[in-house]
């Protein structure tokens, strides 16, 4: 790899994006834990939890792979969320959660088709925000 100005600026941009993603991920995890542990279990809190899960997936992917563009990150995040939701159809996450309750935070327990809609909608919104932020930073 060369040490050209464009390479350095790409590295700086990736570092900045990784830092932003780590802050976003921490905030989303904190909000998710708050929703999960402090609010009543309702349809609204379930939807909020699903949206926060999808946002965390997106931020986690950006944290690991900050040079990927929003469409690619969105595709990976959506695939992860859908895969986890479909995995719930096996019943394994529910069994594992009985043995180790924190599993529910990562894998859930019961399949719900509504979750798929919430995941996909959230990933699209987060990707649009990410693209807007990246566009503004690139323009400045």
Given a cut of 70, whether residue 139 has pLDDT beyond it is: no
pLDDT in tens, 104-119: 999 999 999 999 999 9
pLDDT band at residue 136, thresholds of 50, 70 and 90?
A: confident
State phi, psi for 123 to the nearest 5 degrees.
Answer: -60, -40
Are the CB atoms for 97 and 109 separated by under 8 Å?
Answer: yes
> Nearest 5°: CA angle at 26, between 132 and 49?
85
Per-residue pLDDT, 25: 98
Q: What average pLDDT does the segment 31-35 reach?
A: 97
Number of domains in the chain: 1
The DSSP call for residue 88 is: G
Are the CB atoms for 52 and 28 separated by under 8 Å?
Answer: yes
Helix (H) / strand (E) element for 31: namely helix 5-38
pLDDT band at residue 132, thresholds of 50, 70 and 90?
A: very high
pLDDT in tens, 8-31: 667 899 999 999 999 999 999 999
Given a cut of 60, whether residue 1 has pLDDT beyond it is: no
pTM (two decimals): 0.89
| Integer Cα distance of 54 and 52 in angstroms | 5
- Domain extent, residue 39, equals 5-139
Q: What average pLDDT does the segment 29-43 reach?
A: 97
Is the four-CA dihedral 78, 84, 89, 90 of positive or negative sign? positive
Q: What average pLDDT does the segment 40-57 reach?
A: 98
% residues pLDDT > 70 (the chain): 91
């Amino acid at each position: 790899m060369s040490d050209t100005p464009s390479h350095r600026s790409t590295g700086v941009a990736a570092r900045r994006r990784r830092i932003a993603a780590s802050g976003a991920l921490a905030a989303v995890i904190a909000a998710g834990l708050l929703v999960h542990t402090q609010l009543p279990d309702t349809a609204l809190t379930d939807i909020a939890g699903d949206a926060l899960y999808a946002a965390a997936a997106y931020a986690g992917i950006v944290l690991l792979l900050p040079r990927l563009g929003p469409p690619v990150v969105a595709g990976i995040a959506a695939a992860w969320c859908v895969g986890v939701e479909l995995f719930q159809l096996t019943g394994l996450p529910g069994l594992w959660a009985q043995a180790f309750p924190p599993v529910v935070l990562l894998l859930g327990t019961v399949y719900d088709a509504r979750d798929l809609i919430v995941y996909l909608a959230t990933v699209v919104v987060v990707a649009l925000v990410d693209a807007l932020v990246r566009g503004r930073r690139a323009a400045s």
